[in-house]
């Protein structure tokens, strides 16, 4: 868990900090959804996926794209989880 302590009595500053994190969270959610959509389309085309079952059966560039989307999705989800666990404390 991450705790963010902000020492200010300026309400505008408090709102801006929280707003910036909320905007970043929303952007990450949209990016994850975009990756998941691409992965879903790929799965509809080729069925349940794992590297071993795809290797040699599909174009190498498609395999690389699938692996990249999978890795990107995982990294984005980690970043999203990190932002979503932040709690605010104002002093």
Tokens matching residue 7: 């020492």
> What backbone torsions phi and psi does residue 11 show, to the nearest 5 degrees?
-65, -35
3-state percent helix, strand, coil for the chain, nearest multiple of 5: 70, 10, 20
Question: How does pLDDT run across 34-72, given as a tens digit for each residue?
Answer: 999 999 998 888 777 676 766 677 777 888 888 899 999
25 contacts: CB under 8 Å, gap ≥ 6: 80, 83, 84
pLDDT band at 77 (very low <50, low <70, confident <90, very high): very high
Rg from Cα positions in the chain: 19
User: What's the pTM?
Assistant: 0.81
């Amino acid at each position: 868990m991450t705790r963010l302590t902000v020492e200010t009595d300026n309400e505008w500053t408090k709102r801006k900090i929280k707003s910036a994190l909320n905007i970043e969270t929303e952007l990450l959610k949209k990016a994850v959804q975009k990756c998941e959509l691409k992965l879903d389309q790929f799965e509809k085309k080729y069925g349940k996926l794992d590297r071993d079952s795809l290797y040699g059966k599909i174009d190498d560039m498609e395999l690389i794209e699938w692996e990249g989307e999978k890795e990107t999705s995982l990294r984005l989800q980690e970043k999203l989880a990190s932002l979503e666990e932040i709690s605010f404390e104002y002093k």
